């Protein structure tokens, strides 16, 4: 399942570095976050929308296979790269959805335990890397559109 993440070491690096920074230096806990429940609900909503967007983009790949943009992507050998990035983005945001649900269920807003700091650090590191992956997909598509004849 995590095979899609392992093809790109940058994703693992983003998650790991962000987790280390959040866990060791910032140490966010539910007690430190104002409107904790609203923030977790917002992250859950954003991640769900990102999963839906990624799934819809992934399902549209066969329908755009005959377009000029897709031909440009094939010429640049980025068609498979976009598919892999979409799959990794889906996986990252699914983990973010699961983590946000777990945090909402397991921790109250006044919690200050070490496990809550670990879960929140993981949540924000996956959210950060997922957003970066979405931007990289958009960047590749924009570059393909710009180089179109």
CB of 140 closer than 8 Å to CB of 81: yes
Higher pLDDT, 86 or 101: 101
Name the most confidently modeled range: 80-84, 119-123, 142-146: 119-123
Dist CA 50 CA 117 (whole Å): 24
Dist CA 28 CA 100 (whole Å): 14
- Chain segment 41-90, per-residue pLDDT in tens: 999 999 999 999 888 887 777 676 667 777 777 777 777 777 888 888 89
Global confidence as pTM: 0.83
- pLDDT (0 to 100) of residue 148: 56
């Amino acid at each position: 399942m995590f095979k899609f993440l392992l093809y790109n070491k940058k994703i693992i690096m983003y998650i790991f570095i962000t987790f280390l920074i959040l866990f060791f230096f910032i140490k966010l806990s539910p007690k430190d976050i104002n409107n904790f429940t609203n923030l977790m609900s917002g992250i859950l909503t954003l991640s769900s929308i990102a999963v839906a967007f990624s799934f819809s983009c992934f399902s549209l790949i066969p329908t755009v296979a005959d377009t000029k943009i897709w031909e440009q992507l094939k010429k640049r050998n980025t068609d498979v790269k976009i598919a892999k990035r979409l799959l990794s983005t889906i996986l990252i945001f699914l983990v973010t959805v699961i983590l946000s649900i777990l945090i909402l269920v397991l921790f109250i807003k006044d919690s200050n335990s070490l496990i809550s700091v670990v879960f929140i650090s993981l949540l924000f590191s996956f959210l950060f890397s997922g957003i970066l992956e979405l931007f990289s997909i958009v960047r590749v598509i924009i570059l393909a559109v710009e180089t179109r004849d």
